[in-house]
């Protein structure tokens, strides 16, 4: 279901788009990277929490900030129903609860990984010409908690989104040797 559930905020941005599954995967990759950069953090727990953080949306759909002003999705009940028949359901519920309560350093990193995924997507949309994305980046950065998350966000917004594959790789684009 998450693969077929669109992230609803892109309706307002007017460009871009991804499924909740795509978002969760990239959040997990970012979370893993953050966990490896911070001493004393359990990377496996961070990755698992990243994968679970939006799992209730398989039942509730993705509620953007405007939707949340008018509609209350019972994500706790959705998670309980989802986890009920799973032998590891309690573990999933515990991970989600820990994330929602920001109880641990791992949960705070997952929170930032979630926001950093959004910032990466918004930066790409901004670089492609959507000037509204820059306004969204401002608010997403305000939601960051950790110093490493803030540092990475600064790196994202000051780097062209194509640099990872284009900058310094002129040989890739030049005449091919035979």
Q: Which two tokens stand for residue 169?
A: 């790789």
pLDDT in tens, 121-152: 999 999 999 999 999 999 999 999 999 999 99
Global pTM exceeds 0.85 = yes
Residue 56: how many other CB atoms lie within 10 Å: 22
Using DSSP's 3-state secondary structure scheme, residue 105 falls into helix
Please answer whether residues 152 and 123 qualify as being in contact, where contact means their C-beta atoms are separated by less than 8 angstroms: no
pLDDT in tens, 60-105: 999 988 999 999 999 999 999 999 999 999 999 999 999 999 989 9
CATH class of 2-165: mainly alpha
Kindly list the domain boundaries of the chain, sorted by start residue: 2-165
């Amino acid at each position: 279901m998450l693969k077929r559930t669109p992230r609803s905020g892109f309706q307002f941005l007017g460009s871009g788009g991804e499924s909740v599954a795509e978002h969760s995967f990239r959040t997990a990759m970012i979370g893993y990277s953050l966990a490896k950069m911070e001493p004393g953090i359990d990377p496996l727990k961070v990755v698992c929490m990243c994968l679970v953080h939006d799992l209730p949306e398989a039942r509730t759909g993705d509620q953007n900030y405007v939707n949340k002003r008018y509609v209350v999705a019972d994500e706790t009940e959705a998670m309980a129903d989802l986890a009920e028949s799973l032998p590891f359901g309690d573990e999933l519920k515990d991970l989600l609860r820990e994330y929602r309560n920001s109880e641990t350093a791992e949960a705070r990193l997952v929170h930032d990984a979630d926001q950093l995924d959004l910032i990466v997507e918004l930066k790409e949309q901004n670089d492609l010409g959507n000037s509204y994305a820059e306004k969204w980046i401002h608010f997403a950065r305000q939601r960051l908690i950790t110093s490493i998350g803030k540092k990475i966000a600064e790196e994202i917004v000051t780097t062209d989104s194509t640099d990872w594959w284009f900058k310094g790789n002129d040989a890739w684009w030049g005449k091919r040797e035979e």
